[in-house]
Chains A and B, each alone.
Chain A
Amino acid sequence: MWSIYLNVVLQGVLTGLVYGLMALGLSVIFGVVRVVNFAHGEFAVIAMYAAFILFKAFGLDPLIAAAPIALAFFAVGFVLQMALINSFVSRPEHEQFILLVGLAIVITNALLMIFGPDAQPTNLPYAFDSYLVGPLIIDKVRVYAATAAVVVSAALFAFFRHTRTGAAIRACADNLVGAAVVGLNVKRLYALTFGLGLACVGAAGASMVTIADATPSLGPAYTLLAFTIVIIGGLGSMSGALVGGVLIGVSEALAGFIIAPSMKSMFSFALLIAVLVLRPQGLMGKKRT
């Protein structure tokens, strides 16, 4: 009996890591640019469709396609921040929010116009393969997707810790005025950050296609999911995003298994409300002043 639960939990952890990568993008953007990307999940869905098309047209494995997609998303994020969002950075929160919600609405409905409302299954050749480890049955796709998520996250951690540009971006996040005074090009660094954030979403979306079918209505759902994760983990905390992702992944898997699949996200929201009330800065977040 316990092995079933162990299976469910493990499955939740693996899915949660992909969620975590998606949320990581949101957290990085907020942590540095201080703009909440309300179109985050919508970008993930674009990546899902991109991976889906690449797979159908060229038979490219979504996990390999994740690399070019992430690169393209980096470019999109860079341009978006330079052209549009930089002018909103010092504007009131609700104006930033409205801009990005507008963008989110455009993306979701443009996808709806192009692809229609039906879910598009990718049907990977190894979709139903699994590893047998003792009593555990682990889906191959989830292992691959989770590994990809961990690799990308690790690369991002390393970038922020060990490169000069990474340090410069952290400087912007810690002390904006100070960063500008020592001559950092803040606008360009913001654009780089937004690009990196979107690259995370791109990679996460492409990996997600192996687990879930692409459909436009996933956009708002993933935006909410990413928010829930970063708030639980701590908005702006990179490790918090991964921890939050795993936590949500496990709680969704358990709630879906024990109670009802349709009620699984109710527990995520309950968890979110609890965290907001008891520890508003999130589990791993620094205390806000």
Chain B
Amino acid sequence: MRALWGAMTPRGKVLLAVLVVALLAAPLAVNRYLLSVLTLTLYFVYVGQAWNLMMGYAGQLSLGHALYVGLGGYVAAALWVHFGIGPWLGVFPAVAVAAAFGAAIGWLGFRFGIEGVYFALLTIAFAEFTRIGFDHIAFTGGAGGLFLPYEEKRLGEWWNLRGGQDFFYYLAFALASGGVVIAALLSRARLGFQWLAIREDEIAARALGIDVFRAKMKAVLISSGMTAIGGVFYAFYNNSLFPAQVFDIGRSIELILAPIVGGLGTIFGPVIGALILTPLGEILIAATERLGIDAPGVKAVFYGLLLMIIISLVPNGVWPWIVRRFALVKHKP
């Protein structure tokens, strides 16, 4: 951490401090709606970080991360609804189940040399398979969805993740900061450098004596486990889970937009990406509503166009460009 802090220019340090203070003070200044947008933004920062570890650092393209969000959410929610086990305890089995799925996918993929596009398709296949499966599991409500009861008397029980908008905002802030710190630590750790080596040239990495299979497995395990925690948050924040919604491939894509737009394999890429995309999406919805256009696809069309433009013009994302333009880091990012 210290090395990263030291690498920043004074201007970079000031901006980071301003951002943190502004986010911490936000609930005092903004209304409920804006706070919900910010909460959503921070959630996408967090899951974006989790995905970025796997793709941005280790170079393994997963297009099925909604699987881990869904599994995490469903496990914790089912434990709460059926057995009254609170989410702080429920998060452990949630992470375990998601990581087990991640391990299965990773093992199949890496052991049998399924790479690139094929690996991405394997992750999609697993997510779709699970989506349809959950449609038929009566224990979690099937296609009709799983609902977390809203009880007035439980509202203050933060230890059961039953709180108001402020509470969930700070929880999302804690998750997002945690995600950034984990990414920062890993990027400077031995494992992080192994991932970079594998991403750049797997054969060369192997020649250097890196246990490629092990390093990739660690990437999947950490990424899926982290994503599952995001899923627990998602479930208790939204109070409802539908297989067609949480496991949908659209969710997987939504989740990877922020790191791609921000910059793959960078620590602040997912942060910047989410800070740009989520509010932009909300503004767009508000603007079209104001104009009286009732078209459900507007936001998505805009996202799609934005993706195409960004990947054509700045394929490395916005963050590396900002870093260079405004000299936020002393050397290279």
Q: How large is the interface on B (under 10, 10 to 19, 20 to 34, 35 or more residues)?
A: 35 or more
Contact B304 A265 (CB under 8 A): no
- Chain A binder among B118-126, B212-220, B224-232, B268-276: B118-126
Residue B28, interface by CB 8 Å: no
Q: State how many angstroms separate the Cβ of A256 from the closest Cβ of chain B.
A: 12
0/1 string, A122-138, CB within 8 A of B gives 1: 00000000000000000
- Chain A binder among B38-46, B127-135, B321-329: B127-135
Residue A64, interface by CB 8 Å: no
* A262-B136 contact, Cβ under 8 Å, with A98-B311, A113-B296, A273-B122: yes
Contact A110 B301 (CB under 8 A): yes
Residue B255, interface by CB 8 Å: no
Contact A98 B120 (CB under 8 A): no
Q: How large is the interface on A (under 10, 10 to 19, 20 to 34, 35 or more residues)?
A: 35 or more
Which one of B114, B132, B143, B264 lies within 8 Å of A276 (CB-CB)?
Answer: B114
* A276-B112 contact, Cβ under 8 Å, with A113-B295, A228-B125: yes
* A95-B315 contact, Cβ under 8 Å, with A102-B305, A262-B132, A266-B133: yes
How far apart are the CA atoms of A101 and B116 in the complex, in Å?
15
Contact A273 B304 (CB under 8 A): no
Contact B304 A104 (CB under 8 A): yes
How far apart are the CA atoms of A105 and B128 in the complex, in Å?
18
* A102-B250 contact, Cβ under 8 Å, with A276-B108, A276-B122: no
Contact B296 A276 (CB under 8 A): no
0/1 string, B136-160, CB within 8 A of A gives 1: 1000000100000000000000000
How far apart are the CA atoms of A110 and B121 in the complex, in Å?
25
Contact B61 A93 (CB under 8 A): yes
Residue B55, interface by CB 8 Å: yes
* A227-B121 contact, Cβ under 8 Å, with A103-B308, A108-B297: yes
- Chain B contacts of A260 at CB under 8 A? 136
Contact B114 A280 (CB under 8 A): yes
Residue B249, interface by CB 8 Å: yes
0/1 string, A265-276, CB within 8 A of B gives 1: 110011011001
0/1 string, A182-200, CB within 8 A of B gives 1: 0000000000000000000
Residue A7, interface by CB 8 Å: no
Q: Which residue of A lies closest to B261 (CB)?
A: A98
Contact B112 A231 (CB under 8 A): no
Residue A277, interface by CB 8 Å: yes
Q: Which residue of B lies closest to A101 (CB)?
A: B253
Q: Which residue of B lies closest to A278 (CB)?
A: B112
- Chain B contacts of A108 at CB under 8 A? 297, 300
* A109-B300 contact, Cβ under 8 Å, with A93-B117, A101-B253, A224-B124: yes
Contact A106 B301 (CB under 8 A): yes
Q: Which 6 pairs across A and B sit closest by C-beta, in order of nearness?
A: A109-B297, A105-B304, A102-B307, A106-B304, A102-B308, A112-B297
Given contacts A99-B311, A262-B132, A276-B118, 6 further A-B contacts (CB under 8 A): A103-B308, A106-B300, A106-B301, A227-B124, A263-B136, A269-B129
Chain B residues in the interface with A (C-beta under 8 A)? 55, 61, 108, 112-114, 116-118, 120-122, 124-126, 128-129, 132-133, 135-136, 143, 249-250, 253, 260, 264, 295-298, 300-301, 303-308, 311-312, 315
Enumerate 20 A-B pairs (CB-CB under 8 Å) in ascending A order: A91-B315, A93-B117, A99-B308, A99-B311, A99-B312, A101-B253, A108-B297, A109-B300, A109-B301, A111-B297, A113-B297, A216-B297, A220-B249, A224-B128, A224-B249, A231-B121, A263-B132, A266-B132, A269-B129, A280-B118
